[in-house]
Amino acid sequence: MMVKSAFSILAVAAAAGLALVPGVASAATARPAIAYSSSPGAGDPPTTVTFTVTVGTLLLTAPASVNLGGALPGATVSGTLGNISLTDNRALLSASWTVTAASTAFTTGTGTAAETIPVGDATYDPGTVTSTGTITTSEAPVTLSTAGQTVVSGTAGVGDNSASWSPTEAIAIPASAVGGLYTSTLTESAA
């Protein structure tokens, strides 16, 4: 009779969908409450993320050589010097720079006094300056000399910036100049 009672209990339990495993029924019905928080708890590990913004240099590029053509004594020869480009990759909080131009005298032959046109007879006009990034540019035509004359400057900059211009150089040829191919060295510097 006892075997029959045990089967009866099992049959009733199976029909009701209950499992007769000790402790399982109570664990399934008694779940602990889960609390969610938008702020990290004491056990949440923070991660510090870092990176470096790399910096570059101040770079000025210019054509290697330019031929302005020809003119008679007493006239003026002039022409563009090509594209001059300044790139400031220093990533400064307060960026500024100055470009200067200096020239040697113009000589032909052996460079005697009669074969020399003084540097003061030449002018440099930067023309219009085009810039990118945050920078305020200004430009000024100058009479060239052996000392550097400021031709373009950048102020009130932030971060990387660049500027470009196509200057014109003009040389007043003295009436006493002798014929020949005259050469000088124009040096543009950025600081």
Confidence of residue 38 (pLDDT cuts 50, 70, 90): low
Q: Per-residue confidence at 42, pLDDT binned at 50, 70, 90?
A: confident
Reported as a pLDDT band with limits 50, 70 and 90, residue 43 is confident
**Tokens at residue 131, please?**
């810039």
Does pTM surpass 0.85?
Answer: no
Model pLDDT, residue 2? 47
The residue assigned the tokens 């991660």 is 47
d(CA 144, CA 150): 10
Instruction: Please tell me the distance from the alpha carbon of residue 43 to that of residue 110, in angstroms, as a whole number.
Output: 85
Judge whether 163 and 153 are in contact, CB under 8 Å: no
- Residue 86 clears pLDDT 80, i.e. is over it: yes
pLDDT in tens, 116-166: 999 999 999 999 999 999 999 999 999 999 999 999 999 999 999 999 999
- The two three-digit tokens of residue 180, written as one number: 């020949």
Tokens of 50: 């870092």
Residue 137's closest CA among 149, 151, 154?
Answer: 154
Mean pLDDT calculated for residue range 20-24? 50
Rg of the chain, C-alpha, whole Å: 41
Q: In this structure, what are the phi and psi dihedrals at residue 161, rounded to the nearest 5 degrees? A: -155, 170
In the chain, % of residues over pLDDT 70: 79
* pLDDT at position 46: 94
Alpha carbons 184 and 171: distance in angstroms, whole number:
11
pLDDT of 41 reads: 67
In the predicted model, what is the mean pLDDT of residues 41-67?
94
Say if residue 14's pLDDT is above 60: no
Query: How many whole angstroms separate alpha carbon 31 and alpha carbon 105?
Result: 95
Distance from C-alpha of 74 to C-alpha of 52, rounded to nearest angstrom: 59
- Average the pLDDT over each of 5-14, 23-32, 38-47, 168-177 and give the range with the smallest value: 5-14
pLDDT at 107: 98
Structure tokens, 174? 């003295």
